[in-house]
Each structure stands twice: as C-alpha cells, then as structure tokens.
A and B are shown apart, each in its own frame.
Chain A
Amino acid sequence: MITVKNVSKSFEGFMALSDLEMNVKKGSIYGLVGTNGAGKTTVIKHIAGVYKENQGLIQIEGEPVYDNSFIKERIGYVPDDLYFFGSYSLKEMGRFYKGIYPNWSQERFDAMVARFGLNPNQKLTRFSKGMQKQATFILTMSTRPDYLILDEPIDGLDPIIRKLVWKYIVDDVAEREMTVLVSSHNLREMENICDAIGIISGGKMVIERDLDELRSDIHKVQLAFSDKEKAEGELESLNILHREHRGSVELLIIRNRKDEVEALMEKVKPVIFDMLPLTLEEIFIYELGGADDEIQGIIF
C-alpha cells in the first residue's frame, strides 16, 4: 500500500503540494487525474523517491520511500520526461538495469522487446518518442516491480501499443498483485482501467474514490409515470443528485443502492424505467453536486 499523508512541498515560495493525502491499495490500479500543473508529476516523483517532501510522510508498506533503496528496488517508475545514457542501446540499458535491480528478469525483457518489435541494438536516442516510451516501459516491467508508477505513460503511443501496455499491466496486477499508480489528465482514459481515482488540483486532493464503490452507489435512471403526483411522493425517499425533465420522461441521478432503487420502482410501477450506465465523468459531475470550474476543466 502506498500512503501519502499530509504532504506539502514548495518550490521557491510556490506551493506545489499542499497537505496532500492519498492512499493506493495494494494490488489496485489507481488513476491520478489532474490538469497541467496540478501537481501530478510532483506527487509521483515523491512516491518514486526522487523528491523529498517538506512536510508529511510518504510510505510504502509502512516504510518511508525517500532514500530507501530496499523499497525502491520494488518500485518501477516510468517518468514523463525520459532519459537514457547517451549512445546506449536498449540492450545496454537492459544490462545496466540488470545490475541494479535484483528482481530483473532477462526472459521477460527479451520477450517484451520481441513483442513490442523494438531493435535492441539500436541507439535509444534514435528511437521515436513513442518507441522510447515503449523502451522505458519494457525496462521498467522487466524489473518485475511490486509497485509500478507511470507518469502519463501512454501519451504518444498508438492504440495497438496502448492496448499491449495495459495488457501487461493488468496481467501483472492479476498475477502478482502488482500495485499501479498511473497519472493522466484524461478521466475518460482512466475509466476502463482504474480501480480507484484521485483528482488533484492546485496541489490538493480534491476527490479520491474507489470506482466500484462509486458505481454501486450512484445510478442514472430514466422514468416516466402515468400518475406523476403519486410517484412524486415515493421518489422523495431517494437521494436524488440531479433531475432533468425531458418531455414526459424524467432523468434522475440517484445515490442509492441498486436494490433500493429497484424495490421502489416495483412499488411505483413507472411506465418507463431504464437504468443506464454512468460514465466516470458523469459520476464525478454529480458527485460534486454542481458546476465546479476546476473539475469541469479536468473532465471535459
């Protein structure tokens, strides 16, 4: 488990992180979402042990991360800003990583290189940006990390490679209970992958939720009643976050358990009753209960 407790960080008077709290459960995929400059990379660099916090604590399995080589051996970090030793090929970088990381798997490395179709003997500086990202991903995954930290990993990757990347990640999560922290500025992208989401803005965690928990609690229903007045009274027992009239049909966003909703519908017997899937975006919009400029900026 990754724990970030009351972490603050300033850069020459500018507060990059302010009393940030974050929790990433073991074996989960956590999506860290925020606009540019929100502090995503900063918090990720703290978790990866690159930066030291001014205040607060960052721990993995109860151990502080900063300057802790034993913990860092188990962390795989793919930064946004890539760097390789000058004139090194992928193979040579692999050799270096092999010497540094005790859990390095040469078999995996070779398999992934072949799978991604990269030339291991070509200089990495000659790779395109997307290929460099793939190379970094291969190197990182070959260290067989228990904690994988990805900073905007799939920018610049084509859809096929993206799918491949996520496949590897998901497989490792399933097989080894690898914990993943991935940052993005795109909520829609995180939707299908993440188990939990945190939205960061201005260095602060604005909202942090398990997606399942969210989804089980919030529903979008379309209703139409023959006796609207009678139904209205029954509906008051629900926690309605949002209500919209579209002619004779009503669109409701309800925060109640599904069985509760279904039981009520049995009672009021609407003419039309559809339970529709909610996007993550919609969940967050209605969860926050109104227009929030910052969040609007993130999710639209």
Chain B
Amino acid sequence: MRFKASYFNLSGALIGENIRRFWALSVLSFIGYFLAGILPIIFSYSRLDGMSWQIQQLLNNQYFPYGFLHLVVPVVAAVILYRYLHSPGSVTMVHGLPLTRAKIFNSNFLSGIILIVLPLIVTTLILLLLVKPVFAYGGTEDLFTITLVLQWFWQSLIVVTSVYGIGVFAGVVSGNTALHMLLGFGFNGLLPALYSVSLAYFNEFLFGFDGISRWFDLAAGIMPYTKAIQIQGSFSLGLTIYYIAFFLVVLVTSSFLYHKRQLEKAGDSLVFKSAGIVICYLIAFFGMSLMAFYFNTIPLIQEMESQGHMMFYFGLLVGIVIFLYIGRMIVSKTPRVFNRESLKHLVVYTLVALLFVLAIDFDFTGFEKRLPKISKVESASLTDLEFSDDYMRYDPVFFKGFENEETNRAEFIFADPENIIALTNFHQGLLDNRTELEKNEKYWSSQSLAIKYDGSGIFDMARRYLVPRSIISDSKDLKEIFESGEFKTKYSFKSLAVLEPTWIRVYNELLRNSTVDSYGVKTINNAKDIESLIAAMEEDFQKRTWEQHMDTKAPLASMELAFSGIASPIDERYGHYSDSYYEEENGIKTRIMPLVIRSSDTNTITWLKAQGYFEGLRIKGEDISYITVYHENQDFYENEAWTEDTYIYQEKYGVDWMDRFPKVIIDKPEDIQMLLDSYITSGINYGDTYYGVITFRKTAPFASSLYNYQNGMQGGEDPLKGGITADYNIYFDSENLPPLLEKAFRSAK
C-alpha cells in the first residue's frame, strides 16, 4: 500500500473525545506548573528580588519541578493516547471505526499536543500578568520580563512537543504499555546517552581526544530536553530550526510506521522485528559499556604498572554475554532465550561490538596522529594557560578583543602564522612523546592542555593532552609563542579594557596568609604612581622570557590591580562572580587582577624600592628562629603506623603526628635565607614533598599578628628556642631540593 502523508486529515469527533477523556492530564499538569512555579511567586510578590535565582532558574528551564513536568507529562500523554494499540480488544475497536489510519494517528497526535500545550499557555499567561522588574543581588539585568517569559514558553513548547513526539514514536514501535512507557522516557535520553557513551570510549582510547568540554555540549544539544537543562538562556536560531526539523522527522517516521504497524501484534513487546533487534542491541551496548568501564577500574595485578586494556576487554565480553541475553528476554517477553537464535545474535553483536571498540583502540581513522595542514589553518588556540602562579593575570575579562561571552576564560587564539606553526610543532612534539605522556609519571605537575585549530577546510581539530610541566617548560615552541609580538600585545597592560586601575596593592604572600591583619600590605592610590608603576610592569612583561614565566620558585611578592567598570556579560546576567575577584566598595563594582612580582621583574622592583613600597615585602632571615623541614613521602604510608589518626598516634606514641616524618632543623641565618629564596610554589610533587614550617622569633615585627600567636595554638615557649610558627608552609620536592637539605636529610638517617 502506498504511504500517503496527509497530516491535516483529522477527525474532530475523535479529537473531541480524547480531550473529554483525558482533560485531567492537562489540569494536573497545570496544577503542577502553578504550585511549583507560580504560587511561590505570588506569595513573594512584594519582595521578588529575593526569588531572583528561582525565577531565573524557572525561565531558563533549569527548575527541577518544571523539568520534571516537561518530561513526564508529554510521555504520559503519549502513553494514554496510544495505549489502544497495545491490546487486541482496543486496537480492534478503534481500527474498526470508519476512520483511516492517517486520521486516527493524526487525530490522536494532535489531541496530545493540545493536552500538553494548554497548561503551558495558561501558565505563560499568568506569568505575563505577574511580570515585574526583578534583579539578582548585584545584578543590573531584569530577570523577569515579558520577553523572558515568552522565551520560556517557546523553549518549553519545543521541549514538550519533542518529548511527546518521541513518546508517540515509542508507542508505535512497542506492543505493550509498560514497554511504551519505558521507551518513551528512554528514547528521550537515548541519543545523548549513546553519544556520551561513545565519547567515553573515545576518551578512554584515543590519545588526545578532548572529550569532556565542548563535546558534552554537543551531546546535550542533540535533544531539546537535555539541551534545555544544560544551557542557560534560550535556544539559538540554528538549534531551534534543528529541533523543529527533528520534531517533523519524528512525526513523519511515526506516521509511516503507524501505517505499517501490524495490529495483530498488539501485546507483543515490540511490533517491528527490526525494532526488537535494535532494542536488544542497545541494551547490550549500554550493558557492555557499563561492565567494561567498571572492570577497567579493577587492577588485574596489584603491582602491575600498566595492564593496558585487558580488564576493559574482559568486562566488555562479560557485559556482552549478560546484557545481550537480558535484552533478548525483554524483547521476547520470556526468560527462555537460550537458543540458537540468541546465539546467532550473540555472535553477530560480539563481532560488531569488537569491531567498534577495536576501531577506536587501534585508531583506524588516524585521529591520534592527525595534524592539520598549516595552509588551511586560519587560527589556532591554546587553552588553560595555568602554567604559573599568576595565571589569573591572563583572564580575558580584563583585556580588549576577547569576544567569547560564554566562558569566563576564553581561549587564547593565535592568528600569527608563525605562532600557528609553533603550536603545530609543539603538538607534533607531544605526539612524538606520547609514551611519556601516557605514562604520566609526573602526574603532580602535569597540566591539561587543549589545542584547537580552526579554518574553512578544517573539521574537528581539537585535542587535549595531559602534559608534564617539564615538557611545557622546556618547549621551544611555547617559548616562541609566549615571547611573540602577538602574545605580548594581547596581554599587554596597554591592551587592558580599562587602562587605569583604581588602586594597586602589594604584599608578602606568606605574611598575608599567616597574619590576622594581612601584615605588610601596601596600597597605591595615587593616579600618577599607578601610571608609572604600570609602565614599569609593562616593561617587565615585554622582556619577560618563557623560562622566567615558568619558573616554579616562589615569587618575590604578590600584587593586585583593582579595576572598576569592567562588566562581564555573564556576571551581569547572573549577578555572581566569575573567577576574578569581585568586590563591592561604596556601591562601586570592582574587579581585581592578581599578579606576582618575579625576581626578574627588575623595573617593577626598582620602582617599588624607589617609592618605598618594597619594605616588608620580603621576610628577613633575622626574623626567623628556625625552619623545621619535614620529608613526607607516599611510600611511608605503607607502614600501618603512618596511617593512624593524628590524635590516636599522639596518644599511643606520645609524640606529635608530624614527628613521624623525617625532619631536619635549619637555624643558620644564611641557610634560612637560602631556603626562603629557593622554595617553590608550583609544580610541587606532593607525593614526595619537603615542607618547611617556619618558626619566627618573637622579636619579629609582625610576630604579634601571626594567627598562631593570636590563637595560642602553637605559641608560647617552645622547647628549643622560643618562637611562633607561621600558619603557612614552604615547599620543596625531590626535583628541586637544595643541596643543603639533601645533605641534612642524608646525615639525619
């Protein structure tokens, strides 16, 4: 029989009867929307600003009760309208009526749309009546406007009709109501779930696969329901068109299958044989993936450093066997599926599944080794410039030219051809060092680096690698990029979005974190001073080398620049901070850029000394009584005694918990000064660390400000020489241990 699509072929009588039968669903749905969303607004109407977050969540479809209703109501509507297909009596009665299949399908479909959309319309009308200005704390954007309400309605309409369409599709392919309900919910998450699980495989096997960040957005975006939960704000025009097209495809497919559906199969699990196979294989796919990833977490042999993917494949095979048979039981509606037919499916599916996994594992598509053709690259980017203590100094919110409004820390995008080449070379170097990267022996200092290439002939050239700090530091290519004109111009103090900071503060990081009054902080308010200091800092930045930038040694001092008038669109919309600090003073919104002063920043240091701001930024050796350096190593924890609770240990052995560790005491002033000049603050291997506890002399000018003095925790007379410990440790590790300490610990053994 020719399939004729006649979507306007409707039966008013059937639609009317459906509304009469199922109006309660609309009413209950509206009651849900009303009680969960509208009633709280009405109760708090005189002080709605206090509900700004909830209103924002509601109108962005991030509000759980509404999300629940958006999913459950359409699926239930689909189930109740199409359940007549699932029993012989009802399917006979309905199809015995003088209505064509098209009329029956279309009329029931439209009935469902009416039932689920009516409550939305009523809710929208009430919200429109309630609209009034609402602002988040600290925000300036009105969060409760007519436009936002209408956007909410439009987005909700797309969501509920899509969920409903999928629910109807599930009803057409399934043969009983229980499976219809299950598939109605399941199919709505199926594509994102399939996509996400596939991403998990790519992430597991493909070296360089950037699975987490942007691909997840894509996964969520496949279906409007998951996208609505994931994003804040309305769907873009492109997405809207895609969702409407998706809905139409689902509608047409459901209609087509409805015409093909054999009514005599009412009561079977699945009406179409191919649907049965698909469902069975989907169950097997998800089940095998679950087992594979679970087994992958179990070490085959405890001491084995690298077991490859043996356990993964083992779990995969176990999962295939178990879940394929479970799938067969579900679609056949019987536990007796241990027969030749099932064995045939097991063999077929196993081959397909293994092919899928092996294709990824052995990278049949050449994904891992692929580099773009340089001639096609128009721009490239490197994210996560968190290589040093002052990474927040590069927050794009402070600089002109960063257009990406969706993220707080946008990519640093290169357009200079030389930088693109350098980045590509760096990328090639990572591929050449794959073994080292995969071993990830220096995990404590590894950095997650994302590289991306864009160009008209390029598709999906984004990669992410966990790169040891040593490779980053030693990279000639990254050096070239950092020291390039493009980089230095983009992050120049002359490229600030607001050129003049309101004030600048300088301070000793150690004392700032150890004293109750942030001892030693100096503030520069004078505009001329600020200008000349910025000029000095600019000179230092322009001459700074990559090696200086990547130096792990503790900075000389820290600095904060405060800016007023820099608005982040994200902050304005949601009224909360981004990563750069956000301080309100006298009603003026201030954004703070933290920086460090390196020993190589000679211009800045000279300026601070000349202006008298340098005093107190460095701790003098003479203020320190001694430094106790402890050596903590993960290997120590194999000894049971090491793992005992602090207080139990102290009670049992009569010594302080920290005294479990080997320690040395450094008390010569020149040695103390050497330690102060060489401790590190980044790339620390916490698995084998040497940390120094400083005991200040009571005569130190800031002694009385120290937390430990104030709290009396470890203050007062100490057995050795009398002093007060700082609530701040200095660190070394085995890679940069000063010879002095190395010798001292050797002697102490």
Cα A77 to Cα B89 in complex, Å, equals: 13
- The interface bits of chain B over 90-111 (1 if a CB of A lies within 8 angstroms of the residue's CB, else 0) are 1111011111110100000000
Cα A66 to Cα B262 in complex, Å, equals: 13
Which residues on A sit within 8 Å (CB–CB) of B90? 83
Interface assignment of A62: CB less than 8 Å from any CB of chain B: no
Partner of A96 from B13, B87, B91, B264 at Cβ < 8 Å: B13
Q: When the two chains form their complex, are residues A83 and B95 in contact, meaning their CB atoms are under 8 A apart?
A: no
Which residues on B sit within 8 Å (CB–CB) of A81? 88-89, 92
Which residues on B sit within 8 Å (CB–CB) of A49? 95-96
Q: When the two chains form their complex, are residues A83 and B92 in contact, meaning their CB atoms are under 8 A apart?
A: yes
Partner of A99 from B1, B16, B263 at Cβ < 8 Å: B16
Q: When the two chains form their complex, are residues B97 and A72 in contact, meaning their CB atoms are under 8 A apart?
A: yes
Partner of B98 from A69, A86, A96 at Cβ < 8 Å: A69
Q: When the two chains form their complex, are residues B264 and A51 in contact, meaning their CB atoms are under 8 A apart?
A: yes
Q: When the two chains form their complex, are residues B97 and A100 in contact, meaning their CB atoms are under 8 A apart?
A: yes
Q: When the two chains form their complex, are residues A99 and B13 in contact, meaning their CB atoms are under 8 A apart?
A: yes
Interface size on A, residues (CB 8 A): 28
Interface assignment of B668: CB less than 8 Å from any CB of chain A: no
Q: When the two chains form their complex, are residues B1 and A52 in contact, meaning their CB atoms are under 8 A apart?
A: yes
Interface assignment of B447: CB less than 8 Å from any CB of chain A: no
Interface size on B, residues (CB 8 A): 27
Q: When the two chains form their complex, are residues B93 and A79 in contact, meaning their CB atoms are under 8 A apart?
A: yes
Q: When the two chains form their complex, are residues A73 and B98 in contact, meaning their CB atoms are under 8 A apart?
A: yes
Cα A79 to Cα B87 in complex, Å, equals: 14
Cα A48 to Cα B98 in complex, Å, equals: 10
Partner of A82 from B16, B84, B89 at Cβ < 8 Å: B89
Interface assignment of A101: CB less than 8 Å from any CB of chain B: yes
Which residues on B sit within 8 Å (CB–CB) of A85? 17, 21
Cα A45 to Cα B91 in complex, Å, equals: 11
A101-B89 contact in complex given A52-B1, A67-B1, C-beta closer than 8 Å: no
Q: Which residue of B lies closest to A149 (CB)?
A: B96
Which residues on B sit within 8 Å (CB–CB) of A50? 91-92, 95-96, 263
A83-B264 contact in complex given A50-B96, A96-B13, A99-B13, C-beta closer than 8 Å: no
Cα A83 to Cα B98 in complex, Å, equals: 16
A100-B92 contact in complex given A51-B264, A67-B100, C-beta closer than 8 Å: no
Q: Chain B interface secondary structure, helix, strand, loop or mixed?
A: helix
Q: When the two chains form their complex, are residues A69 and B16 in contact, meaning their CB atoms are under 8 A apart?
A: no
Q: When the two chains form their complex, are residues A79 and B92 in contact, meaning their CB atoms are under 8 A apart?
A: yes
Cα A50 to Cα B99 in complex, Å, equals: 11
Question: How far apart are B682's CB and chain A's nearest CB, in angstroms?
Answer: 69
Q: When the two chains form their complex, are residues A75 and B263 in contact, meaning their CB atoms are under 8 A apart?
A: no
Q: Which residue of A lies closest to B4 (CB)?
A: A67
A69-B100 contact in complex given A51-B263, A99-B13, C-beta closer than 8 Å: yes
A100-B264 contact in complex given A81-B92, A83-B90, A83-B93, C-beta closer than 8 Å: no
Which residues on A sit within 8 Å (CB–CB) of B84? 83
Interface assignment of B650: CB less than 8 Å from any CB of chain A: no
Cα A72 to Cα B100 in complex, Å, equals: 9
Question: How far apart are B341's CB and chain A's nearest CB, in angstroms?
Answer: 13
Interface assignment of B730: CB less than 8 Å from any CB of chain A: no
Interface assignment of A300: CB less than 8 Å from any CB of chain B: no
- The interface bits of chain B over 1-23 (1 if a CB of A lies within 8 angstroms of the residue's CB, else 0) are 10000000001111011000100
Q: Chain A interface secondary structure, helix, strand, loop or mixed?
A: loop
A48-B88 contact in complex given A85-B17, A96-B17, C-beta closer than 8 Å: no
Question: How far apart are A17's CB and chain B's nearest CB, in angstroms?
Answer: 12
Most buried by A among B12, B98, B264: B98
Q: Which residue of A lies closest to B17 (CB)?
A: A96
Which residues on B sit within 8 Å (CB–CB) of A99? 12-13, 16-17
- The interface bits of chain A over 18-61 (1 if a CB of B lies within 8 angstroms of the residue's CB, else 0) are 00000000000000000000000000010011111000000000
Q: When the two chains form their complex, are residues A100 and B98 in contact, meaning their CB atoms are under 8 A apart?
A: yes
Cα A121 to Cα B87 in complex, Å, equals: 26
A100-B101 contact in complex given A48-B96, A79-B92, A81-B88, C-beta closer than 8 Å: no
Q: Which residue of B lies closest to A11 (CB)?
A: B264
Q: Which residue of B lies closest to A67 (CB)?
A: B100
Question: How far apart are A44's CB and chain B's nearest CB, in angstroms?
Answer: 10
In B530-579, which residues have CB < 8 Å from any A CB? none
Question: How far apart are A271's CB and chain B's nearest CB, in angstroms?
Answer: 59
Question: How far apart are A266's CB and chain B's nearest CB, in angstroms?
Answer: 56
Q: When the two chains form their complex, are residues A72 and B98 in contact, meaning their CB atoms are under 8 A apart?
A: yes
Q: Which residue of B lies closest to A99 (CB)?
A: B13
In A61-101, which residues have CB < 8 Å from any B CB? 66-70, 72-73, 75, 77, 79, 81-86, 88, 96, 99-101
Which residues on B sit within 8 Å (CB–CB) of A73? 98
Q: Which residue of B lies closest to A70 (CB)?
A: B98
Question: How far apart are A184's CB and chain B's nearest CB, in angstroms?
Answer: 18
Which residues on B sit within 8 Å (CB–CB) of A52? 1, 262
Question: How far apart are A181's CB and chain B's nearest CB, in angstroms?
Answer: 14
Q: When the two chains form their complex, are residues A83 and B87 in contact, meaning their CB atoms are under 8 A apart?
A: yes
Cα A66 to Cα B95 in complex, Å, equals: 10
Q: When the two chains form their complex, are residues A100 and B89 in contact, meaning their CB atoms are under 8 A apart?
A: no
Which residues on B sit within 8 Å (CB–CB) of A75? 96, 98
A79-B96 contact in complex given A11-B264, A50-B263, A52-B1, C-beta closer than 8 Å: yes
Q: When the two chains form their complex, are residues B13 and A69 in contact, meaning their CB atoms are under 8 A apart?
A: no
Question: How far apart are A112's CB and chain B's nearest CB, in angstroms?
Answer: 19
Cα A69 to Cα B99 in complex, Å, equals: 5
Which residues on A sit within 8 Å (CB–CB) of B14? 100
Question: How far apart are A203's CB and chain B's nearest CB, in angstroms?
Answer: 14
In B414-440, which residues have CB < 8 Å from any A CB? none
Which residues on B sit within 8 Å (CB–CB) of A70? 98
Which residues on B sit within 8 Å (CB–CB) of A45? 92
- The interface bits of chain B over 104-127 (1 if a CB of A lies within 8 angstroms of the residue's CB, else 0) are 000000000000000000000000
Cα A260 to Cα B92 in complex, Å, equals: 50
Which residues on B sit within 8 Å (CB–CB) of A66? 1
Question: How far apart are A28's CB and chain B's nearest CB, in angstroms?
Answer: 22
Most buried by B among A11, A49, A82: A49
Which residues on A sit within 8 Å (CB–CB) of B262? 51-52
Question: How far apart are B104's CB and chain A's nearest CB, in angstroms?
Answer: 10
Q: Which residue of A lies closest to B83 (CB)?
A: A86
Question: How far apart are A47's CB and chain B's nearest CB, in angstroms?
Answer: 11
Which residues on A sit within 8 Å (CB–CB) of B13? 96, 99-100
Cα A100 to Cα B98 in complex, Å, equals: 7
Cα A49 to Cα B104 in complex, Å, equals: 14
Known: A75-B96, A77-B96, A83-B87. 11 other contacts (CB 8 A): A48-B96, A50-B91, A52-B262, A67-B1, A69-B103, A73-B98, A79-B89, A79-B92, A82-B89, A82-B93, A100-B11
Give B contacts to A, CB under 8 Å.
Answer: 1, 11-14, 16-17, 21, 84, 87-93, 95-101, 103, 262-264
Residue pairs across A and B with Cβ atoms less than 8 A apart, 6 shown, are: A51-B264, A67-B100, A69-B98, A72-B99, A83-B84, A83-B87
List 5 A-B pairs, minimum CB-CB distance, nearest first.
A99-B13, A83-B89, A72-B98, A73-B98, A81-B89
